[in-house]
Amino acid sequence: FQIHMNPSQSTLTLEGDDIDRVDKAMQHISYLNSRQFPTPGIRRLKISSVVKCFNEEACVSIPSVEGYVMVLQPEEPKISLSGINHFARSASEFESSEGVSLFPELRIISTITREVEPEGDGDEDPTVQESLVSEEIMHNLDTCEVTVLGEELNQEQESLEIDMTRLQQKGIEMSSSSLGMIITGVDTMASYEEVLHLIRYRNWHTVSLFDRKFKLVCSELNGRYVSNEFKVEVNVIHTANPVEHANHIAAQPQFVHPVHHTFVDLSGHNLANPHPFSVVPSTATVVIVVCVSFLVFMIILGVFRIRAAHQRTMRDQDTGKENEMDWDDSALTITVNPME
């Protein structure tokens, strides 16, 4: 009994002199599809039989039999990209030779949803329904594309870069343009995570740059399964010139800690402070105290003057009343007649 198979494993030939053995061998022939996500559809097959007699010539004619194997739709994976999608870095980091990593904590996971049949015989209880279970699976990717959102990359002042040595070690290829970067090659999701962590954005002229936005999409089987669109926004933090910053502080020092200086001066523990601006609150206090004292003094003086004037008026009135009651005998002469 002999079994032959062509290199492409598309044709299987059985040879034997015992019909029963050939029949049993035919019953063990199976179709195998090693792809994790096989393409659904019909796989046609044909069985041709030849019977040879003792003179090695075909003496019996057996018609061919055609059939097919139906491959059902497999559970489609859901590829999800997640990570930090919004962060800010200083302008010096963008302008450095290393640049800024776009996907520092990127995670790639894939899940499928399966239908789980209930335990036991479902015909006994018609109310029992199949439940859906989501589980994580590992499989390969073949493409990841980074696209610039908004204006295209200005090759004279910005670029997307990656460590080509690390990329070649994994057997993955890269192509870039002003629109972004494309990474291709069949490899695991873990390897693609490592590669995407290496992508860095550089901009050596960030004076007029405030933010940049990018989009990442990964796929498998030439775009048959596509991930979600993972968008990243990076902001540029501009710092002021140190010299100008120092001059700005020196020009307006009174706004730094005004409450602190006022408390120190009023407490009397820093009277010898040579800072000219720290004396301003105490001088104002002295002026206010002097003004209030002068006002109180004027009020008291006015009260005394009013009381003195009132007393003088009362004294004048009393003197006038005494003069009215006195007899004016300056011209009075009494003559007494002694005869009477």
The span from the CA of 144 to the CA of 159, in Å, is 18
Query: How remote is the C-alpha of 223 from its chain's centroid?
Result: 28
**Res. 104: pLDDT tops 80:** yes
- Longest CA–CA separation in the chain, Å: 223
Q: 41 lies in a domain?
A: yes
Q: 42 lies in a domain?
A: yes
Confidence bin at 246 (pLDDT 50/70/90) = very low
pTM more than 0.85: no
The predicted pLDDT at position 45 comes to 92
Q: 319 lies in a domain?
A: no
Rounded to 5°, the CA angle 282-287-291 comes to 150
Q: 334 lies in a domain?
A: no
Please spell the DSSP secondary structure of 132-152, one letter per residue: EEEEEE--EEEEEEEEEESSP
Mean pLDDT along residues 217-221: 95
Of residues 64 and 328, more confidence is placed in: 64
Query: Could you give the number of structural domains in the chain?
Result: 2
The predicted pLDDT at position 266 comes to 36
Judged by DSSP in three states, 161 sits in strand
Mean pLDDT along residues 112-120: 72
Are 101 and 203 contained in the same domain? yes
Are 23 and 88 contained in the same domain? no
**Res. 331: pLDDT tops 80:** no
**Res. 201: pLDDT tops 80:** yes
The predicted pLDDT at position 283 comes to 79
Are 26 and 145 contained in the same domain? no
Domain extent at residue 171: 76-114+129-235
Are 205 and 82 contained in the same domain? yes
The predicted pLDDT at position 77 comes to 92
Are 97 and 62 contained in the same domain? no
**Which tokens in the block code for residue 326?**
């006195």
The predicted pLDDT at position 100 comes to 95
The predicted pLDDT at position 207 comes to 87
**Res. 272: pLDDT tops 80:** no
Minimal CA–CA distance to 222: which of 122, 140, 113, 315? 140
Q: 201 lies in a domain?
A: yes
Are 201 and 85 contained in the same domain? yes
183 DSSP β-pair partners:
144, 174
Last residue of a domain, which of 218, 235, 252? 235
The span from the CA of 81 to the CA of 67, in Å, is 43
Q: 311 lies in a domain?
A: no
Of residues 323 and 218, more confidence is placed in: 218
Q: With pLDDT > 90 as the criterion, what percentage of the chain qualifies?
A: 40
**All residues at 6 or more sequence positions from 168 whose CB lies less than 8 Å from its CB, including other chains:** none
Q: 257 lies in a domain?
A: no
Are 8 and 88 contained in the same domain? no
**pLDDT tens, 47-95?**
998 887 777 666 778 899 999 999 988 888 999 999 999 999 999 999 9
The predicted pLDDT at position 62 comes to 85
Beta strand 200-203 pairing with 211-220: unpaired
**Which tokens in the block code for residue 71?**
């491959």
Are 52 and 194 contained in the same domain? no
Mean pLDDT along residues 146-168: 93
DSSP 9: S
Q: Residue 85 CB: number of other CB atoms within 10 A?
A: 16
Q: 170 lies in a domain?
A: yes
Are 22 and 134 contained in the same domain? no
Are 2 and 37 contained in the same domain? yes
Mean residue pLDDT of the chain comes to: 80
Mean pLDDT along residues 25-49: 89
